Amino acid sequence: MKNRKINLEEREIPESWYNIVADMPNKPLPPLNPGTLEPLGPEALAPLFPEALIKQEMTTDKWVTIPDEVRNMYSIWRPTPMYRAYGLEKALDTPAKIYYKYEGVSPSGSHKPNTAIPQAYYNKQEGVKRITTETGAGQWGSALSFACQHFGIECDVYMVRLSYNDKPYRKMMMNTWGANVYPSPSDRTAAGRKILAEYPDSPGSLGIAISEAVEMAATREDTKYALGSVLNHVKLHQTIIGLEAIKQMEKAGSDLPDIVIAPFGGGSNFAGLSFPFLRLNLEGGKKIRCIASEPASCPKLTRGVFRYDFGDTAGMTPLLPMYTLGHDFIPAPIHAGGLRYHGAGVIVSQLLKDNLIEAQSHDNLEIFEAGVLFARAEGIIPAPEANHGIATAIKEAKICKEEGVSKTILFNLCGHGNFDMKAYDDYFSGK
């Protein structure tokens, strides 16, 4: 029997997160105060984040120790399995060796608890009573609801209206874990009311939902804000994915991958898998291609401009140096709600600017074709966000066939699509 699944023991859960900033040849530019255009100090972030996370946001230390309580929580579902995609290889008739790291085994069904758990932990350590956040398709909101429930923190989630209507079971999941969920834009905040006044039928966006969550956190003493992507500390926490993956490739007796691929919205998914492999490029002279896969309808990496921009629609955040489509950009209402964000995280933006990573985009039809092919070949129905990475992996595997070369491809299957069946129904119905 073929060895399809590569597992690690619980004792092999990494003890530290990896901070790629320590190895970057050009460090990211600092965030700016939008009023003064001066670099932002840590004190400016204090109204929104606990001190421990601010330190992680600013640190240049290469390794950051994972607290024991966080590792214990991780052990509920980590280490996550890696699979050799024999079925997909056969379906594509490719000489490529395809592997995927499957993050859908977490309690909320995606990679998002990797950062939700430590964020809730550090907030609890500082006595925070309530956390506000945004969510697109609901994966991040679900993960933070789960984490807050464990640590006894109230959780308010502003869910992009399009997904709030299309993915009711994600809302129910968050409610089950005790969270309050509001469709965004809402009438609960000044930012939401402004958008509704201008666009009463607005489908919402992550940028708008961030504005609402930030506004609520900034106006309450007992409340902090948590972000599911974009920021440095979020990417830091997600590197547990790639750190495990390197061990699993070694355990499988496989060469290191030639190509590492992950979907891209704000950057946490891509960073989680790719940054530990990029370390091997930066530190060890390897030449692993790391490809971010984004929607053609929200192409900040492939068509955006590198400049300072707000991280939210209302302009409540600091100015961030990033590839952006403009903070007022409202993405098309695609089913991959978790990727509908106008900008790229600061670290990923600098890496792309320095040509250390690549980016590709795929349209909605292409990614669902890829997802259905994968589901029929491998058995797991992927989340629409995950389909972007699959589409890029398929594209690269077909190139291997055309060129008659065998390369090793690794991608991040960041979550299952069990709550996304309306999206698949729309695809099969030709909508």
Domain of 290, in residue numbers: 5-13+67-110+233-428
Are 131 and 211 part of one and the same domain?
yes
C-alpha closest to that of 330 among 136, 58, 88: 136
169 CB-contact burial (10 Å; exposed 0-12 / middle 13-18 / buried 19+): middle
Looking at the structure, tell me whether residues 117 and 99 fall in a common domain: no
pLDDT digits 0-9 by tens, 322-351: 999 999 887 766 555 567 688 999 999 999
State which of 185, 209, 231 marks the end of a domain. 231
311 pLDDT band (50/70/90 cuts)? confident
Element of type H or E holding 198: helix 190-198
DSSP 8-state secondary structure symbol assigned to residue 417: -
CATH of the domain at 254: 3.40.50.1100
pLDDT at 400 over 70: yes
Same domain, 376 and 259: yes
Q: Residue 420 falls within a domain, yes or no?
A: yes
* Cα–Cα distance, 215 to 219 (Å, whole number): 6
Q: Which of 231, 253, 276 is the last residue of a domain?
A: 231
Work out the mean pLDDT of the chain and round it to a whole number. 95
Same domain, 293 and 404: yes
Whether 156 and 101 share a structural domain: no
> Cα 15 vs. chain centroid, distance in angstroms?
21
Give the rounded distance of the alpha carbon of 281 from its chain centre: 22
pLDDT at 363 over 90: yes
Task: Determine phi and psi for 412, rounding to 5 degrees.
Answer: -95, 110
C-alpha span between 349 and 341 (Å, rounded): 14
- Say yes or no to pLDDT of 376 above 80: yes
Q: Does 121 map to a domain? A: yes
Q: How far is CA 290 from the centre of its chain?
A: 15
Number of folded domains in the chain? 2
DSSP, collapsed to helix, strand or coil, labels residue 19 as: coil
Task: For residues 40-49, give the mean pLDDT.
Answer: 91
213-267: per-residue pLDDT in tens?
A: 999 999 888 999 999 988 999 999 999 999 999 999 999 988 899 999 999 998 9
The pLDDT of residue 342 is: 85
Q: Which two tokens stand for residue 375?
A: 């589901």
Helices (H), 2-112: 51-58, 68-74, 86-92
Distances (CA, A) of 185 to 181, 405, 410: 12, 49, 37
Given phi > 0 = left and psi -120 to 50 = alpha, else beta, which region is 247? Answer: alpha
